[in-house]
Amino acid sequence: MNIALNIKHFHELLKDSDCQLVAISKTKSENEILEAYNAGHKIFGENKVQELTDKHEKLPEDIEWHMVGHLQRNKVKYLVPFVHLIHSVDSIKLIKEINKRGRKINRQIKCLMQVHIAREETKFGFAFEELVEFFQDKKAEEFPFVKILGLMGMATFTDDMDKVRSEFKELRELKDRLKKLNKNRNVEMNELSIGMTNDYKIALEEGSTMIRVGSAIFGERK
């Protein structure tokens, strides 16, 4: 795997687009991350709190760290001082905790709401109607130390690319719908975090603003 070359490939691919690359570095070493960093990349994502905080401590300060995995409430406090964006907000209880911890250090924490797609295997994420209600009822205003930038989703794990495309379309439509009915000051609803190694090309065609790519940059994980 030539990590630097892979990074350059993605930068070239995205250079005239409104989409950012979040390089998913879970299980990868600090040296591998530095290879990507030295090739000019500064946005990295991890799915475990311990690994994320360790890497944040050891690696250059100007890296933007994104949390993309399921987040337990009792670990929120370790992330809020430095995390750039939490992609995986999947319950009201979790938003409450992020808000509480943000308030303690007077920092507004940027988040995406994770949407659950019925046919996908993970059990995490909000149902479509739950989110519609949440924004309609102006619930976000109860959490002023959370800034909701948009949605995150994962397509069903399948070779059926038509199905993947239709799921991405549903997420895009949901985002647009929520943006229209949103009246909350701390909500923007401009970001759509969709697309991984196997489906980022489709995600780009369907309006992704953040692709989360691991193996296509760093190689297969063990």
Ligand X SMILES: *Cc1c(COP(=O)(O)O)cnc(C)c1O
- Given the rule CB under 6 A, which residues bind ligand X? 24, 26, 47, 68-69, 196-198, 212-216
| Least distance to ligand X, CB of residue 104, Å | 27
Q: 117 near 154, Cβ under 8 Å? A: yes
Q: Which one, 21 or 131, has the nearer CB to ligand X?
A: 21
Q: Which one, 16 or 220, has the nearer CB to ligand X?
A: 220
Q: Which one, 54 or 141, has the nearer CB to ligand X?
A: 54
- Tell me the residue nearest to ligand X as measured from the CB: 214
| Least distance to ligand X, CB of residue 74, Å | 20
| Least distance to ligand X, CB of residue 120, Å | 11
Q: Which one, 91 or 198, has the nearer CB to ligand X?
A: 198
Q: Which one, 33 or 216, has the nearer CB to ligand X?
A: 216
| Least distance to ligand X, CB of residue 159, Å | 14
Q: Which of 171, 198, 43 is nearest to 112 (CA)?
A: 171
Rounded-to-integer distance, Cα 97 and Cα 99, Å: 5
Rounded-to-integer distance, Cα 87 and Cα 67, Å: 6
Count Cβ atoms within 10 A of the Cβ of residue 85 and give its class: 0-12 exposed, 13-18 middle, 19 or more buried.
Answer: buried
| Least distance to ligand X, CB of residue 216, Å | 6
The dihedral sign for the CA sequence 26, 31, 37, 39 = negative
DSSP E strands, 74-133: 85-89, 109-115
Q: What SS3 state is found at 58?
A: helix
